[in-house]
Structure 1
Amino acid sequence: MTLPIPTPPHHPGQVLVVTNDFPPRQGGIETFVRSLCDELPDVVVFTARMPAAAEYDAALPFPVVRDRTPMLLPTARVTRSAVRVMREYGAEQVVFGAAAPLGLMGPALREAGARRIVALTHGHETWWAGTPGTRQALRRIGDAADTLTSVSGWCEKQIAPALSPGAAARMRRLTPGVDTSRFFPDCGGEQVRKGLGLEGVPVVACVSRLVARKGQDTLIQGWPRVLAVVPEAVLLIVGGGPDRARLEELARRTGVAHAVRFTGAVPWADIPPYVDAADVFAMPCRTRRFGLEPEALGIVTLEASAVGKPVVVGDSGGAPDTVKHGETGYLVDPYNPVATALRITELLTDPARARAMGEAGRAWVRTQWTWARSGRLLRELLDVH
């Protein structure tokens, strides 16, 4: 099947983004890649087929070419398609939205004329680095790219030993940013509270996909300790996912079902008001599967700080990068419900401290975690202006 690619005029310095992670599919990497596209002067995206893509793509200010498959893999056919898109659009720089496995196409794109190649790493490349077969593949990806990026210091430490010395020396930290025009204090929380019947009630929110790694069960297990001090407190669990039934049953068995509210899945565009509805944001994320499933960073924690909320975050992978312990919130042992509940209770019973931490977090995000800053670095790595 031939890709329907129009032939546009050549734009020197145009960037080809090759990715499986792109809207309308929702997720942290999808948001990361999409936001970085806005920071590039000329970009074309080559990505997978997915539902509702045509309408989404039509509203974008740059072209998107969709493959016929729902997942891109570095097969010979997909590689030929990527080369064709690159040549049709005159792209001279390539960004792999996630280094593994699509970065294995790097040598072919280089041979086809790519001048600079940047491969973004996130969390899953850490287990590639620790597994013998995939470790060798990751080494090849690193050698084919001009730069591999990492989202956190922890991720870099896990990935670098799997690379050749030269590729490891070329790694750079490229963190996601926070859109402070969407995430800001009073961005709709009162309306959410009113709609949920939570006006005047202390609220702790966890906004995340419902999977075991995010630690919602730690919050539920610790909630009796919170209620013992703050009887009217409500735990608001925002998001959908496969763990919901288990979490609901855990809340019933723990005797706190009356104080735990599940919203179900919330569209990405509607997330900020749910964060704003909280007095405290908590996500005691944890590392699972013998270290192969960590939290690479946790952008939602930074989004909560941007809204001016104190945060309680689990010590997993790169998550410590998202909180200044004792200043913007607390880092906790995600396997200790009592310790987690203690920190939450401290914040609920000391509004002045909670407010100061939220203000410090917002100031930190506004200066150090911006998409403009991330975009400048990516343009530097690609040598585009």
Structure 2
Amino acid sequence: MTCCVSESERAEGRAVGITGDLRLIPNDVEVGALRAGAPVDRAQARKLLEVDDDVQLVVCCARLAHQKGQDVLLRAWPAVVAAEPQARLVLVGGGPDEEALRRQARGVEHVRFLGDAPRETSVAWMVASDVVTCPSRYEGMSLVPIEAGALGRVVVASDVEGVREGGWGPARVVVPVEDADALAGALHQVLADPAARAEAEAVAWACGDDLAQQPRAADRVLELYAELLGRA
């Protein structure tokens, strides 16, 4: 028995020759608790974080590491700022690549490194954002896009395992892995159309409502153990 957190991961397992029962138990988040611990809306979050209302805020919440692709995001960012001068990028998190990324960001406008932050701070930045971006090189099924969607935010993410799953519709914009130009274009497209973004945010919130009604992954894992023990 092999447990997979996304359909993409299960397909990849089969492709490399893993046989037997590959059981799908997708990653999820506890939507009710997530929302209860977050600011009530973007305005409140921005007041808390001292972000001006007219800023177009892009947030990346992830460990600063090669896997997470912040170097690709920094390559994309000058084109975003050139098209949207009010755009600001906040990188939430620390990690082994922080020094290298800070060096890469020298001379790049409107980039802020927040460093390691408590979970409630990361959540507040997501609520304050106009876009949450996840430029990873690989994942199983990342939790950040799920959290951001459940908080009613549009996600621009690279096309890694699990990112297309969950039925997020226009609230999930997917670009090729390591394609800085495509990433810049997608971020600009979302920032440049507030009306379409608001519609996508409503879709994201509704998808979060649906997710809240589904069985939790932890419960499904317990059921799987019970099934296996019953077999034994």
* TM-score range normalised by the length of the shorter chain: 0.7 to 0.9
Q: 1:203 to 1:375 in 2, by over 3 A?
A: same
Offset at 1:190?
Answer: 4.3
Residue aligned with 2:112, SS? strand
Partner of 1:282: 133
What amino acid is the match of 1:199? D
Match of 1:202 among 46, 52, 56: 56
Match of 1:193 among 32, 46, 50: 46
Gaps of 5+ in 2: 228-232
Q: 1:323 to 1:277 in 2, by over 3 A?
A: farther
Residue aligned with 2:164, SS? helix
Partner of 1:261: 112
Residue aligned with 1:319, SS? coil
What amino acid is the match of 2:26? T
Partner of 1:327: 170
Partner of 2:5: 151
Offset at 1:171?
Answer: 2.2
**Paired residues of 1:233 and 1:259 also in contact (CA < 8 A):** yes
Offset at 1:334?
Answer: 2.8
- Show CA shifts across 1:288-340 (max 9, x none): xxxxxx3111111010001100110101233332564x522210013221211
1:237-252 correspondence to structure 2 within 5 Å: 237-252=91-106
Gaps of 5+ in 1: 1-146, 287-293
Match of 2:32 among 176, 181, 195: 181
User: RMSD over aligned Cα, in angstroms?
Assistant: 2.4
Q: 1:380 to 1:220 in 2, by over 3 A?
A: same
> TM-score, length-normalised on structure 2?
0.85
> TM-score, length-normalised on structure 1?
0.53
Residues in 1 aligned to 2:120 and 2:201: alpha-carbon distance in whole angstroms: 22
**Paired residues of 2:154 and 2:204 also in contact (CA < 8 A):** yes
- Show CA shifts across 1:1-37 (max 9, x none): xxxxxxxxxxxxxxxxxxxxxxxxxxxxxxxxxxxxx
1:46-195 correspondence to structure 2 within 5 Å: 147-160=1-14, 161-164=16-19, 168=20, 170-184=21-35, 187-188=38-39, 190=43, 193-194=46-47
1:212 aligns with 2:29: no
Partner of 2:86: 232
Residues in 2 aligned to 1:185 and 1:338: alpha-carbon distance in whole angstroms: 37
Larger Rg: 1
Offset at 1:183?
Answer: 3.1
- Show CA shifts across 1:229-279 (max 9, x none): 210110011111111111111111xx32x4001111012344311211111
What amino acid is the match of 2:83? V
Higher relative contact order structure (alpha carbons within 8 Å, sequence separation ≥ 6): 2
Partner of 1:297: 141
Match of 2:181 among 327, 331, 338: 338
Identity level (%): 30
Residues in 1 aligned to 2:48 and 2:56: alpha-carbon distance in whole angstroms: 15
**Paired residues of 2:30 and 2:212 also in contact (CA < 8 A):** no
